[in-house]
Amino acid sequence: MGDPRDSDPKKPAPHDGSYRRLFSHARMVEDLIRRYIGPAWIDRLDFSTLEMVPAHYVSDELEQRESDVVWRLRYGPSGEWFYVYLLIEFQSGVVRFMAIRVLSYMMLLYQDLILRKQLTRSRKLPPVLPIVLYNGTRKWTAPLQVAELIESLPGCEALLPRFEYLVIDEGHLPPEQLEPFDNPVSGVFRLEQSQGLEEIQRIIDTLIEVLDDPELRELRRDMATWLRRVVLPARLPGVEVAELHDLQEAKIMLAERAATWPKQWMAEGYESGYGSGLRETLTELIEEKFGAVDSRYVELIAAAPEARLKAWLKRILRAETVADLFES
């Protein structure tokens, strides 16, 4: 059998929806491309024409993932369409054959464009920018080019397919790349890397300033939803957070409850960061022994107290399957 990390997940992680909502806003897509892609040809794109494309195309073998987002915008003097394909990857493990999967989805998109006769003026297919957004704990090490995944026969190198995708490894972006903090995408990436309550509060304060525009009200709301569903459960395990409708609500809630939470974390071993270290170690060991960690086990690890984490760390030595490890 192959390495489980080489295969595709059958369904998105539970929080994919709230993250997808963030990149269903034109402001987020524009800032992502300008700040984290940014070659010279970016200046030829007309970001005022950004529009989201329904990803309705499927095949018998491969279905469009719910977590991925497709946008298009005009470029150049002729105003041709340029497509941006965002693959949002929430797996804790690195997918070695990601280049094949990205290429597969691009081919589905191209087949759909051919069927609908949406070609350029010169009867060619429009360019597509494929970006993988990854927020796993492990550094992204999968090959970026399809050719690297295919055995090469001497003398036939020219026959290998030429395709490369871009990856943004959110958790491992260097601090200097997140500066200046003047856009919401940098705020999302900073929150992905945040380690404590005070840091989260500082980031939220800046996001409130960056998004201080009545037209960005919906983005602020989606940001608050993602904060509640994804960031806070990961950074503040075991803490119940009420529904949030705006970043201002998140700021007030954190300020009000900051005085009471440390007592809870102290009792459960979280305040010192020890519990966080145990969870990270356990996740890495599971990945090494069994492959990518299923989303339901990720949730168990995130919510478990210190004593249970220690018990699982001991049990992993003799567990033959992931189910054995988490039994009882």
Quote the pLDDT of residue 203.
Answer: 94
Quote the pLDDT of residue 10.
Answer: 40
Exposed, middle or buried, 74 (CB in 10 Å: 0-12/13-18/19+)? middle
User: Is 232 strand, coil or helix?
Assistant: helix
b/e string for 82-98 if b means 16 or more Cβ within 10 A?
A: bbbbbbbbbbbbbbbbb
Quote the pLDDT of residue 261.
Answer: 56
Place of tokens 């957070």: 241
The type of residue at 204 is I
Whether this model's pTM surpasses 0.75: no
Report pLDDT digits (tens) over 51-69. 999 876 655 555 556 668 9
Place of tokens 């195309």: 57
Place of tokens 């995708």: 165
- What sign has the CA pseudo-torsion 118, 123, 129, 132? positive
Report pLDDT digits (tens) over 222-268. 999 999 888 888 776 666 777 888 898 888 888 766 655 555 544 44
**pLDDT < 70 positions in the chain:** 1-16, 56-67, 90-92, 236-239, 256-277, 328
Distances from the Cα of 133 to the Cα of 152, 197, 264, angstroms: 29, 25, 34
Residues 6+ apart with CB under 8 A from 231: 191, 192, 194, 200
